[in-house]
């Protein structure tokens, strides 16, 4: 009798409240969420559409959201300008790829180790340090440009390759998310490992990291986006052309062309924006499930 009742209740739950497959009761959610999804996709559609617009559509009035007569002229103009650069375009691209990879790896190592210490270790000023990190979330990057420049100049990082990487290690939002995620790791697991003689390095590598993979993937995405799209570092701290990044090159290329030829410059800017956007979209699509898992745990404590 009890088993039959359980199966009946379980079947009702699957058919109605939380069905495993499609159920007519889910239509209400699609009605609400579908318009929101379409609205959120509009910026992506606009970036793609704008890159393929011919000049007459870029300057059409009233402005057109979707491209009517797509063309590859904007991309051909962009690639033609790239071929005339004094420094090979492959050098800028290599700099960006190397800086992005090193920044992501270094940021993950530094952030996870700091988050582990703030979450599971006991030491003085622990709460104060985390409070300072939380307060720093309120400052936008432009508000700290002057003190950042003074620190970088004092450390002698101007016109060096390291200036692209070292500032990216300080990511308050990454430390916050990781610390909140590690708080959910049971203390009993760590204590059991310590009783067995495990060191902090072993615990960090064999226990903490495997249990926070979603958070690590989120930090990788945030660091990738911040580094790949960063043109300010090359503009403010680097004077040697061969040390600058692909993002800086595209931004200056399109702006210089815009000054000389407004029509061609707008098309090149649109094509460059799409090229810079695609890697961000790709990495987010690949790791989006991990990001959702991190956000669902970021405000919870174990």
Token pair belonging to 182: 């590690």
Q: Are 193 and 275 in contact (CB under 8 A)?
A: no
Question: pLDDT for 49-81, tens place per residue?
Answer: 999 998 888 888 888 888 888 889 889 888 887
d(CA 123, CA 125): 7
Residue 13, pLDDT > 70, answer no
pLDDT score recorded for residue 4: 52
User: What is the percent of the chain where pLDDT is above 90?
Assistant: 31
d(CA 209, CA 203): 9
Token pair belonging to 221: 């995405």
pLDDT score recorded for residue 18: 55
270-288 mean pLDDT: 86
Residue 129, pLDDT > 80, answer yes
Residue 296, pLDDT > 70, answer no
pLDDT score recorded for residue 215: 87
Domain coordinates in residue numbering, the chain: 78-297
Residue 290, pLDDT > 80, answer no
pLDDT score recorded for residue 286: 82
User: If one looks up domain 78-297 in CATH, what number appears?
Assistant: 1.10.3720.10
CA-based R_g, the chain, Å: 25
Token pair belonging to 128: 């104060």
User: Taking the model in full, what pTM does it have?
Assistant: 0.79
Residue 245, pLDDT > 50, answer yes
Confidence of residue 130 (pLDDT cuts 50, 70, 90): very high
Task: Tokens 């760590």: give the residue.
Answer: 190
The chain-wide mean pLDDT, for the chain, equals 83
Lowest-pLDDT range of 159-173, 184-198, 209-223, 257-271: 257-271
Q: Are 228 and 283 in contact (CB under 8 A)?
A: no
d(CA 16, CA 28): 13
Lowest-pLDDT range of 17-26, 151-160, 200-209: 17-26
pLDDT score recorded for residue 102: 94
Residue 14, pLDDT > 50, answer no
pLDDT score recorded for residue 16: 47
pLDDT score recorded for residue 12: 42
Burial of 204 (0-12, 13-18, 19+ CB in 10 A): middle
215-239 mean pLDDT: 90
Residues 246-282 as b or e (16 or more Cβ within 10 Å = b): bbbbbbebbeebbeeeeebbbbbbbbbbbebbebeee
Residue 84, pLDDT > 50, answer yes
Length of the chain: 302
């Amino acid at each position: 009798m009890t088993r039959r009742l359980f199966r009946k209740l379980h079947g009702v739950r699957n058919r109605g409240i939380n069905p495993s497959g499609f159920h007519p009761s889910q239509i209400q959610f699609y009605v609400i969420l579908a318009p929101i999804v379409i609205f959120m996709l509009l910026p992506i559609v606009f970036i793609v559409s704008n890159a393929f617009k011919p000049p007459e559509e870029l300057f059409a009035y009233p402005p057109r959201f979707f491209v009517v007569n797509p063309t590859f002229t904007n991309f051909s103009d962009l690639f033609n300008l790239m071929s005339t650069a004094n420094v090979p375009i492959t050098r800028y691209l290599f700099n960006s790829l190397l800086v992005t990879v090193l920044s992501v790896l270094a940021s993950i190592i530094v952030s996870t180790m700091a988050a582990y210490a703030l979450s599971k270790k006991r030491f003085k000023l622990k709460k104060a340090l985390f409070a300072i990190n939380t307060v720093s979330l309120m400052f936008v990057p432009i508000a700290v440009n002057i003190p950042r420049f003074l620190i970088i100049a004092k450390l002698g990082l101007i016109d060096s390759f390291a200036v692209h990487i070292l500032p990216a290690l300080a990511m308050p939002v990454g430390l916050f998310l990781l610390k909140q995620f590690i708080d959910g790791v049971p203390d009993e697991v760590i204590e059991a490992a310590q009783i067995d003689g495990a060191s902090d390095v072993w615990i960090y590598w064999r226990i903490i990291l495997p249990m926070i993979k979603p958070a690590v993937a989120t930090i990788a995405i945030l660091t990738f986006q911040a580094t790949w799209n960063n043109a300010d570092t090359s503009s403010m701290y680097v004077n040697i052309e061969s040390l600058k990044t692909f993002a800086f090159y595209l931004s200056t290329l399109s702006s210089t062309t815009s000054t000389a030829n407004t029509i061609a410059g707008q098309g090149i800017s649109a094509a460059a924006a799409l090229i810079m956007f695609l890697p961000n979209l790709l990495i987010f699509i690949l790791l989006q499930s991990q990001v959702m898992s991190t956000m669902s745990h970021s405000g919870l404590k174990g």
